[in-house]
Amino acid sequence: MATKPVKLLGFWDSPYVNRVQFALNLKSIDHEFIEENILSKSELLLRSNPVQKKIPVLIHGDEPICESLHIVQYIDEVWTDGPSILPSHPRDRAMSRFWAAYIDEKWLPLLWEVYEAKEEDSRTTLLEKVREGLVLLEAAFVKCSKGKAFFGGDSIGYLDIALGGCLGWLKGIEKLASVKLLDETKTPALLGWAETFCSNEAAKNVVPEPEKLNKCLKEFQAQAAAATK
């Protein structure tokens, strides 16, 4: 089963796609990356994910797998030769899934809102909420890592991948708003984790550069506005 060809439908700046790229790199899985145009979705994407019509989609042989964290779990279960991504202990797996859900449902949406905020006061309020979330994740890191380099311990795991996919956008906001969201005062452990994560071979060429990301976002917003008109 693991020998079937692998394709990944996505776009380079998507935090959800980045997660899948991290997992593929960790497992040293050869794959074809097919870049999608979000404003003009391909027939392959629409056919592979007819319900949500969203990236990422992993196509393994002829079978499409959708949703970033579901894909990460699938990769971990199918390619068992590489390093494990999900924790081995049921309690640790449950904890990782809990915090990953918090990131996707509560914290990551705040980043989108910061980018879309028109008023300075609104952006300031949102940035404070982002910081509050990072303080919670700092405590989660200290508990999950048990003094080691990653949420997963000695190596990148499920929660590292979940939060690591957001680092490009977090850095982009820091650049855009001229603020420091990860700092040595409130989130020293998470700051060190982010540096270690980004320097890992699985993430090195995947996490988007903030300048490139912000430029791309402006172009996308302009194109979307033009398409709407």
Q: Measured in Å, how far apart are the chain's first and last C-alpha atoms? A: 47
Q: What is the pTM of this model?
A: 0.94
Q: What does the pLDDT look like over 168-225, one tens digit per residue?
A: 999 999 998 899 999 999 999 999 999 999 999 999 999 999 888 888 777 766 665 6
The CA dihedral of 215, 213, 172, 152, to the nearest 10 degrees, is 180
pLDDT digits (tens, 9 = 90+) for 14-67: 999 999 999 999 999 999 999 999 889 999 999 999 999 999 999 999 999 999
Q: Domains in the chain, ordered, with CATH? A: 6-78 (3.40.30.10), 90-212 (1.20.1050.10)
Bridging pattern class, strands 6-10 and 32-35:
parallel
Instruction: Judge whether residue 229 has pLDDT over 70.
Output: no
